[in-house]
């Protein structure tokens, strides 16, 4: 009877361990699916925002070019715009460098 009780306890323990293992496998697949879904959603949002920024910058640039040719901006405003443009180009360069680093680190890790 004692060995039967020990065997029964071991079987219960094995069943509980198996249940926990199954739950962990389900949790892992759920987390993986959620993570992939969130990354895809972030990518879609990023692409949409970049399209908006690109279209807006094209439109703004063409307007700025026309206004500049007409002499609309004063010298001070032109300096401010040039400074802003330089800052934007610098930030864009930093972002491009970060993307390049991420791509190279991703390739290295593979």
Kindly report, residue by residue over 37-78, the tens digit of the pLDDT.
888 899 999 988 888 888 777 776 666 666 666 666 567 777
Confidence of residue 89 (pLDDT cuts 50, 70, 90): very high
Model-wide pTM > 0.85: no
Neighbours of 1 (CB within 10 A): 5
Cα distances (Å, whole numbers) of residue 48 to 23, 26, 41, 52, 94: 37, 33, 11, 6, 21
Kindly report, residue by residue over 14-44, the tens digit of the pLDDT.
888 898 999 999 999 888 888 888 888 999 9
Neighbours of 78 (CB within 10 A): 13
- Dist. CA 98–CA 78, nearest whole Å: 30
**What pLDDT score was predicted for residue 71?**
61
* 1 Cβ neighbours under 8 A, 6+ residues apart: none
């Amino acid at each position: 009877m004692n060995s039967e009780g020990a065997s029964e306890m071991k079987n219960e323990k094995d069943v509980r361990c198996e249940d926990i293992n199954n739950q962990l496998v389900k949790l892992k697949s759920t987390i993986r699916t959620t993570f992939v879904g969130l990354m895809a959603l972030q990518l879609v949002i990023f692409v949409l925002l970049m399209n908006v920024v690109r279209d807006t910058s094209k439109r703004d640039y063409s307007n700025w070019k026309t206004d500049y040719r007409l002499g609309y901006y004063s010298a001070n405003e032109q300096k401010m715009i040039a400074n802003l443009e330089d800052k934007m180009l610098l930030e864009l360069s930093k972002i491009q460098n970060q993307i390049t680093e991420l791509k190279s680190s991703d390739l290295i890790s593979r």
